[in-house]
Amino acid sequence: MILNHVRLIRELSSGISTESGFVRVEKDMITEVSDRPYPLADETAVNTNIGNTEDIDMVDCKGKTLIPGLIDLHTHITVLNQVGFNCLHSDMELLTTAAEHAAHYLDMGFTTIRDCGSIHRVANEVKHMAQIGLIEAPDLITCGRAVMPTEGSEDHIMAQHVHFADTVDEVRKAARQEIAEGADFLKVFTSGAAAVATSVPEQSIMFPEEIRAAVETAERKGRYVAAHCHGDNAVRNSILAGVRTIEHATLISDETLELAAVQGAYLIPTLAVMHISDGPRKDYWEKRLGPMFRHCTEKMAKAYEMGLYLGFGTDCAAGDFCYDNGIEFRFRRENCGMKDLDILLQCTRNNAVIAGIEDRVGMIRKGMSADLILVDGKPDLDIRCMYHRPKLVMKRGKIVRRM
């Protein structure tokens, strides 16, 4: 297949910049990237090196921008928007519901997602279904259940996606169990959760030695740890324990930003989840999330100015208002002052590096997986075109969405 007359961005196309080039895709791989358009049939007579274009599946992209498929490093295919809550009685119903929901991420161009905790570890199974082509969905990076100190009843509906563990030994055992069940990384809760009314986001809920136990166990199995952190003390403890990705980092201090820079920890801010919609509980959420949002956007703006290698997460569900309206893109641009190109790099190249999958995705170049999206606009110059659905989504060389 030839994607012809595509606009390519230098920073995402291995140095190739053009207003009308082409990308060749064979099976599931990118095999050629050019800064010139592919010669059409009436041009082949003057170029003996070009074969019969009638045998090529040609897509005229009409100058639209081709970029790598997007990556969301913090989402959940269950739990968010209560997906899966009505399926706890049936594992098969939960599996089909989760698989159906996972497919919706493709609508907005996300071809890789990292699930940070799923009900009954169902994301692990959806991952395998996507890998073998049984369902049409993004590639998933999964942790199974998130490891968390006892913060409530095991019967609570929100407890269905966590693995309660207290003490160093219990954390080690929980980590080993999640890895044995197919986790690609470990997720731990080191602070309270903003979404749970009885939880206190500022509180640090894991002891440093417990966090270190998770990190050490993960490293022995070639994995890494992602830590849910709102409070600054939890962020600091997680960084010092060797956690690779700091999720949210909502209440991080200037001093801890400096520590993150020195230690090389990756921050994955999730601003969109703090979007407050109109409704009967608007005042409650404004009081709870408003100060957190203002602090976080201020500190992420500073982290950006410091040159920290920021990742891109949403903690939102595909198909909801925030996903369908590009709220994460908007908040980074409007509230953090990030440049359009840098936001684009965060959700492609940066995320691929952070997740350790940069050899497969995140860039347009020969030998990479053909996970690509076509955007109507120039997102490196005006990210607002990412607030809308892409015109075309390609997953592993197959066009799976087309507008």
Could you give the percent of the chain with pLDDT greater than 90?
Answer: 90
CATH topology of domain 2-67+363-402: Urease, subunit C; domain 1 (2.30.40)
pLDDT beyond 50 at 161: yes
Which has the closest alpha carbon to 68: 140, 2, 13, 113? 13
Between β-strands 162-164 and 18-26, what pairing exists: parallel, antiparallel or unpaired?
unpaired
- Are residues 362 and 68 in contact, defined by beta-carbon separation less than 8 angstroms? yes
pLDDT beyond 70 at 217: yes
Q: What are the phi and psi torsion angles at 7 (to 5°)? A: -85, 130
Beta partners for 68? 372
Q: What is the mean pLDDT of residues 380-385?
A: 98
pLDDT beyond 70 at 41: no
pLDDT beyond 80 at 43: no
Identity at 234, one-letter amino acid code: A
In the chain, where are the structural domains located? 2-67+363-402, 69-355
Report pLDDT digits (tens) over 85-112: 999 999 999 999 999 999 999 999 999 9
pLDDT beyond 50 at 79: yes
Q: What is the mean pLDDT of residues 26-43?
A: 90
- C-alpha to C-alpha distance for 92 and 334, rounded to whole angstroms: 42
Report pLDDT digits (tens) over 168-197: 999 999 999 999 999 999 999 999 998 887
pLDDT given for residue 403 in this prediction: 86
Q: What is the mean pLDDT of residues 310-339?
A: 97
SS3 assignment, position 190: coil
SS3 assignment, position 133: coil
Q: How many CB atoms lie within 10 A of CB 83?
A: 24
Q: What is the mean pLDDT of residues 119-135?
A: 97
Contact residues for 279 (Cβ-Cβ < 8 A; gap 6+): none
Q: What is the separation of C-alpha 181 from the centre of its chain, rounded to a whole number of angstroms? A: 22
Q: What is the mean pLDDT of residues 241-254?
A: 98
Q: How many CB atoms lie within 10 A of CB 292?
A: 17
Q: What is the mean pLDDT of residues 53-81?
A: 92
- C-alpha to C-alpha distance for 275 and 273, rounded to whole angstroms: 5
- C-alpha to C-alpha distance for 109 and 68, rounded to whole angstroms: 9
pLDDT given for residue 54 in this prediction: 54
- Please state, in angstroms and as integers, the Cα–Cα distance from residue 40 to each residue in 49, 54, 313, following that order: 13, 9, 41
Q: Residue 156's pLDDT band (boundaries 50, 70, 90)? A: confident
pLDDT beyond 90 at 46: no
pLDDT given for residue 155 in this prediction: 73
Q: Residue 42's pLDDT band (boundaries 50, 70, 90)? A: low
Q: What is the mean pLDDT of residues 360-380?
A: 98
SS3 assignment, position 334: helix
Q: Residue 49's pLDDT band (boundaries 50, 70, 90)? A: very low
pLDDT beyond 90 at 57: yes
Report pLDDT digits (tens) over 278-299: 889 999 999 999 999 999 999 9
- List, as own/partner pairs, every contact residues 285-293 make where C-beta atoms lie below 8 angstroms and the sequence separation is at least 24, other chains included: 288/194, 289/194, 292/194, 292/201, 292/230, 292/250, 292/251
Burial 169-193 (b: 16+ CB within 10 A, else e): ebbbbbbbbbbeeebbbbbbbbbbb
Identity at 338, one-letter amino acid code: M
Q: What is the mean pLDDT of residues 250-264?
A: 98
pLDDT beyond 80 at 325: yes
Q: Looking at residue 395, what DSSP letter applies?
A: E
CATH number for the domain running over 69-355? 3.20.20.140
pLDDT beyond 80 at 167: yes
